[in-house]
Amino acid sequence: MASENNHFLAVCLRGAGQVFFMENALTGLLFIVAIAYASYDAGQWATTVGAIVGLLVATLTAMWMGNDKPSIQSGLFGFNGILVGVALPTFIAVSPQLWFYIIVGSAVSTVATAAFAATLTKSWGVPGSTGPFVLTAWLMVGGAYAFGSLDVTGDSARMASDYLSGAAVIPAADELVQIFFRNIAQVFLLGSAVSGVIILVGIFIASRPAGVAAALGSLVAMVCAIGMRVEPSVVIQGLYGFSPVLTAMAVGVIFLNTSGKVAVYALVATVATVFVQAAYDVVMSPLGLPSFTAPYVLTMYLFVAPKQALAPHAHKPVAEHQLHDH
Amino acid sequence: MASENNHFLAVCLRGAGQVFFMENALTGLLFIVAIAYASYDAGQWATTVGAIVGLLVATLTAMWMGNDKPSIQSGLFGFNGILVGVALPTFIAVSPQLWFYIIVGSAVSTVATAAFAATLTKSWGVPGSTGPFVLTAWLMVGGAYAFGSLDVTGDSARMASDYLSGAAVIPAADELVQIFFRNIAQVFLLGSAVSGVIILVGIFIASRPAGVAAALGSLVAMVCAIGMRVEPSVVIQGLYGFSPVLTAMAVGVIFLNTSGKVAVYALVATVATVFVQAAYDVVMSPLGLPSFTAPYVLTMYLFVAPKQALAPHAHKPVAEHQLHDH
Amino acid sequence: MASENNHFLAVCLRGAGQVFFMENALTGLLFIVAIAYASYDAGQWATTVGAIVGLLVATLTAMWMGNDKPSIQSGLFGFNGILVGVALPTFIAVSPQLWFYIIVGSAVSTVATAAFAATLTKSWGVPGSTGPFVLTAWLMVGGAYAFGSLDVTGDSARMASDYLSGAAVIPAADELVQIFFRNIAQVFLLGSAVSGVIILVGIFIASRPAGVAAALGSLVAMVCAIGMRVEPSVVIQGLYGFSPVLTAMAVGVIFLNTSGKVAVYALVATVATVFVQAAYDVVMSPLGLPSFTAPYVLTMYLFVAPKQALAPHAHKPVAEHQLHDH
């Protein structure tokens, strides 16, 4: 249904929905409601305004560039833009230059989406997914430190050795529920469990298997993060769950045909994403950058890339090397 | 004219010219004059000697490897080498081991140029450009910290949180002129405005559109860096302009066919390069490494990669995945 | 001989042998003996147990995924797993979660091996080699800092500016012998010279040219590291030799057809690996991560990638760019 209505508004809403792989305008609308709820709850509207600006600019840039029309209409050039629009006001204080920054960043996310399509997807069939968002947001947040007009408020740099090991308290039952939904909300960088509920409803409206995968991904991530004894204050914010949720959906339902074997494969990928999340947090900290969805992106690329009937290079001479006899 | 004279000297001079994409021996000669002037001005000649050594070694290595002859003759295996040869003495104090280091580094820059050609260019039509220089120079400067025989003098490591935000003074008119020309000179890591004038003359001799693009790139970078309130002492050295200058030339004139649309595209790319410059400066600082032309390289790759009629991967199963039924 | 016996045990032992490119079960057995000797010598068995677990899990994962059968049988899906299994207990204290971590990490190394095959090898004929191990081990050690259940014991983070320059003592003759063999043993992260002897014997059993290349690689690395005045305490542990040893073998014997020209090429690559080793040590330090075999991996990729009859992208418009007229 949704795909037949190519009104600009519907195209943009599908762009919002594609953050969770859903080509569905109603789902996208619910996602924007979830962002707005979190803004209302926190009393700051910059993230909601940023989301809308990012979505519009990214989609319009794709139209201006003359990118593949069906892809634009299904929202594939919008989801990186909306994430850039939410992420920048989350980590940078509002100023006139911030809005200029968001506009340029959203446009760049569309260029990057086209670049990922022309490389990763063309050669290897690997989806760029939110890779362009991660790259763009890293560059923009990193750059903000050097601009007197932009004030980075979110993170502070710390070294790997600043992490403390030791006893961790297991969260109480009501906290577990909070974690479960925040794991989903944090894909949009939202700390609100209510937003997580709205988003999960949105996913179920578009696809039941996708909703189940998201819920299971959140559960697995929660168990794994607590079992490995991650700092409880970080787990409770949902920061160990959003990338695993995306991995569970992407590997288990979206990019592979679901089967028993694929379910096991997606489970391994989801657990691995928790470990990769930890690694990114530690490694990006000295650089003063958040991980965004990079843990999902890297893990998904690795798990989606393997193709049938391809062998690793054997330990014998490579063909047509420069120095071989002509 | 130049291309018909394949004397070794002409080939090397064209290698110098290709730093600004110009296949012109006279232009290359002027660039070397610009380097020599900055050496004379600063009273230290290691960068000029390094430039010549790097240019010779890189070109000779390409001949020894038997690389593509027309490419060698047009100087495409020389420009990364000359940049390695200028960069290493800029950041490392002179010692006998430094010269050994420059020779190996210049040879490696040619191997890397061939490797980039066999990957980036072969598969995606993306020019390696100064990517091999950036990679080689990062490795060599990074490595120098660990060698007792090499003393890194240029940079000192600092964390993202050491950047101060706040009021920035707008430069005076004569400073603006300095910035304009230093933005060009710093492509060769030169702090001299006079060198910038000589280089710009060299570009105009080879190509008027390229010269205009370089000048506009420098202007846009200057306005953007000041408007975003970058630390004035950094802007005045031209350190926010050299990568944008290359982006403006590469995206606006060299790698795309100039048109109104391409001009707008190049403008966005140039502004984005200023932001990417800031990001690289912040992110490379804790690692003790300069950005070199990495901001140009990354931005140019992103803006040049998008190809016609290519769609991002839709959110549906990938073909021929390992775990799909055979 | 070895290749005809496809008993699971033989397959696993060949996986061990492939760490040094040797498809030979007896060689693989000797490598495991070398690991066990170092465990015995140090009085801690976790690395040996980890090696066996990693080897088994990685090989079984490849079988479960249905990867290319001849590649599995020649051990190409085992060598990254055994390295993960040795590396994790070397840098992380033993705990129940560590064993879970090793199992997941070894499985991921096989997924990564398949992913590298489907990208690097498929498109560019570049062997993934130990790249999947390096990536997996970085993620797992990096992540361990954030897990209260895992205690990183090996490294401590330091900044580039913490490296001291200055006079370095030239090692005594008996120390030189230690360095020579430790340079080989450290490929398996072993500090024991006796283990290095056992490994070198294992290589010679499988291939005399490979053994000669390993020995020469160790010598070149030793001379180069001492000549550049690396901190003696680091050189004596063999930490500047293991990557160059692999480069000398890979570039000089395994992936290129040995010739006079290739020998010179391999020599340059080996020296470059010493410089790249220094760079990785400096750059990974602030992130709290060891270099593993990354210096070999990067250098080998660069030196193996160049292909005949390929030109770098000339400085002229790229074909079929998005913004060119359709």
Nearest CA distance, C286 vs chain A (angstrom): 7
CA distances from C170 to C22, C82, C174, C237 (A): 34, 35, 12, 14
Amino acid B301: pLDDT: 98
For the segment B279-294, what is each residue's pLDDT rounded down to a tens digit?
999 999 889 899 999 9
Helix (H, G, I), strand (E, B) or coil at A5: coil
Cα-to-chain-centroid distance, residue C28? 15
Checking ipTM against 0.90, whether it exceeds it is yes
Give me the residue from B272, B313, B324 closest to A108, CB to CB.
B272
Q: Is B312 inside a domain boundary? A: no
How far out from the chain centre does Cα C284 lie? 16
CA separation (Å) from C268 to C17, C139, C247, C273, C303? Answer: 26, 30, 10, 9, 10
pLDDT tens figures, C145-204: 999 999 998 655 566 656 655 555 678 889 999 999 999 999 999 999 999 999 999 999
B309 exposure class (CB count in 10 Å sphere: 0-12, 13-18, 19+): exposed
C63 touches chain B (CB under 8 A): no
Q: Is residue C127 part of a domain?
A: yes
- Is B307 within 8 Å of A140 when comparing Cβ atoms? no
pLDDT at C247: 98
Which residues on neighbouring strands pair with residue C152, listed in sequence order? C92
Determine, for residues A167 and C148 on separate chains, whether the beta-carbon distance falls below 8 Å: yes
Same domain, B1 and B140: yes
- pLDDT score at C1: 40
Considering the domain architecture, whether residues B29 and B14 belong to the same structural domain is answered as yes
- Residue A211 and residue A24: Cα distance in Å, rounded? 14
Chain-centre distance of CA A261, in angstroms?
Answer: 25
- Containing B131, the helix (H) or strand (E) segment is helix B131-144
Quick one: how far is CA C5 from the chain centroid? 26
Nearest to C146 among A281, A301, A317 (CB): A281
Query: Do A188 and A128 fall into the same domain?
Result: no
Q: Is B122 within 8 Å of C306 when comparing Cβ atoms?
A: no
Pair C31, C117 in one domain: yes
CB distance A151 to B228 below 8 Å: no
CATH number of the CATH domain containing B96: 1.10.3430.10
CB contact under 8 A, C286 and B289: no
Whether B286 contacts C162, CB under 8 Å: no
- With a CB cutoff of 8 Å and minimum separation 6, the contacts of C154 are C90, C91, C92, C141, C290
Query: Which secondary structure element, helix H or strand E, spans residue C181, and what is its range?
Result: helix C173-185
- Asked if the Cβ–Cβ distance from C68 to A272 is below 8 Å, we say no
Contact B311 A112 (CB under 8 A): no
Q: Look at residue A1 in the predicted model and tell me its pLDDT.
A: 40
Give domain status of residue C253, yes or no: yes
Chains touching B by CB (3 or more pairs below 8 Å): A, C
Give tens-digit pLDDT for B28-59.
999 999 999 999 999 989 999 999 999 999 99
Which residue in chain B has the smallest CA separation from A108? B272
pLDDT of residue A67: 94
Segment C307-324 mean pLDDT:
88
**CB contact, 8 Å: B146 with chain C?**
yes
Cβ-based contacts of B306 with chain A (< 8 Å): 65, 67, 111, 114-115, 117-118
Any domain includes A318:
no
Between the alpha carbon of residue A127 and those of residues A217, A296, A306, B30, B315, the distances in Å are 20, 12, 13, 46, 8
- Number of domain units in chain B: 2
State which residue of chain A sits closest to C257, comparing Cα positions. Answer: A317
Chain C contact present for B142, CB below 8 A: yes
Q: Mark whether C176 and C272 lie in a shared domain.
A: yes
Q: Does A280 touch chain B (CB under 8 A)?
A: no
Greatest Cα pair distance in chain C:
70
**Neighbouring chains to C with at least 3 Cβ pairs closer than 8 Å:** A, B
Q: Tell me which of A94, A134, A139 to substitute to probe the interface with B (most B C-beta atoms closer than 10 Å).
A: A139
In this structure, the answer to whether residues A80 and A208 fall within a common structural domain is no
* Residue A245 located in a structural domain: yes
Among A313, A322, A324, the residue to mutate for chain C (most C Cβ within 10 A): A313
Q: CB contacts < 8 Å between A and C, how many?
A: 199
- The whole-number pLDDT of residue B309 equals 73
Question: Domain for residue C45, yes or no?
Answer: yes
Per-residue pLDDT of A106-119, as tens digits, reads 999 999 999 999 99
- CA C195, C199, C201 angle in degrees (round to 5)? 120
Q: Is A117 on the interface with C (CB under 8 A)?
A: no
Q: What is the pLDDT of residue A164?
A: 55
Separation between Cα atoms, residue A102 and residue A89, nearest integer Å? 9
Are the Cβ atoms of C145 and A278 closer than 8 angstroms?
yes
A324: in domain: no
Say what the pLDDT of residue B5 is.
79
| Count of alpha carbons within 13 angstroms of residue A137, beta-carbon side | 27
Tell me: the pLDDT tens digits for A136-167?
Answer: 999 999 999 999 999 998 655 566 656 655 55
Distances (CA, A) of A183 to A50, A179, C143: 22, 6, 19
Average pLDDT over residues C97-121: 97
When comparing pLDDT for B213 and C153, which is higher?
B213
What is the structure's pLDDT at A162?
A: 63
Across all residues in chain B, what is the average pLDDT? 93
- Same domain? C271 vs C141: no
> At A6, is the pLDDT very low, low, confident or very high (cuts 50, 70, 90)?
confident
Question: Cβ contact (<8 Å) for B152 and C160?
Answer: yes
B153 touches chain C (CB under 8 A): no
Asked whether residue B142 falls in the same domain as residue B2, the answer is yes
Confidence of residue B2 (pLDDT cuts 50, 70, 90): very low
> C180 and C222 share a domain?
yes
pLDDT tens by residue, C39-79: 999 998 999 999 999 999 999 999 999 999 999 999 999 99
CB-based contact A107:A58 (threshold 8 Å): yes
Between CA C14 and CA B150 the distance in angstroms is 42
Query: What type of residue sits at position A187?
Result: V
Is residue A123 within 8 angstroms of chain C, CB to CB?
A: yes
Query: Does B88 contact C at CB distance below 8 Å?
Result: no
Based on the domain organization, do A32 and A135 belong to the same domain?
A: yes
Q: Decide which of B98, B133, B154 is a domain's last residue.
A: B154
For the whole prediction, is pTM greater than 0.90?
yes
The DSSP 8-state label assigned to residue B255 in this structure reads S
B107 touches chain C (CB under 8 A): yes
In terms of Cα–Cα distance, which of B269, B317, B264 is closest to B297? Answer: B269
Residues pairing with A77 in the sheet:
none
Q: Examine the domain organization and report whether B124 and B14 are in the same domain.
A: yes
Residue of chain B with shortest Cα separation from C117: B322
Say if B280 is an interface residue toward chain A (CB within 8 Å): yes
CA distance B28 to A110: 37
Of B154, B184, B217, the last residue of a domain is B154
Chain B contact set for A261 (CB, 8 A): 323
In a domain, C317, yes or no: no
| Angle at alpha carbon of residue B188, lines to B183 and B193, rounded to 5° | 45
Domain boundary pick from A154, A187, A214: A154
Q: Residue A113 is inside which H or E element, if any? A: helix A96-116
- For B111-122, the DSSP string reads HHHHHHIIIIIH
Q: What is the pLDDT of residue B1?
A: 41
Q: Do B25 and B2 form a contact (C-beta atoms < 8 A)?
A: yes
pLDDT tens column, A174-194:
999 999 999 999 999 999 999
A147 - beta bridge partners? B230
pLDDT for residue C264 is more than 80? yes
* Angle at CA of residue C257, ends C256 and C262, nearest 5°: 70
The shortest C-alpha distance from B322 to chain C (Å) reads: 7
pLDDT at A2 > cutoff 50: no
Mean pLDDT confidence for A6-35: 97
Q: Length of chain C, please?
A: 326
Neighbours of chain A (3+ CB pairs under 8 A): B, C
Q: How far is A229 from chain B (nearest CA, A)?
A: 28
Range of the domain at B49: 1-154
**Same structural domain for residues B192 and B230?**
yes
- Closest partner CB to A302 (pick from C115, C255, C289): C115
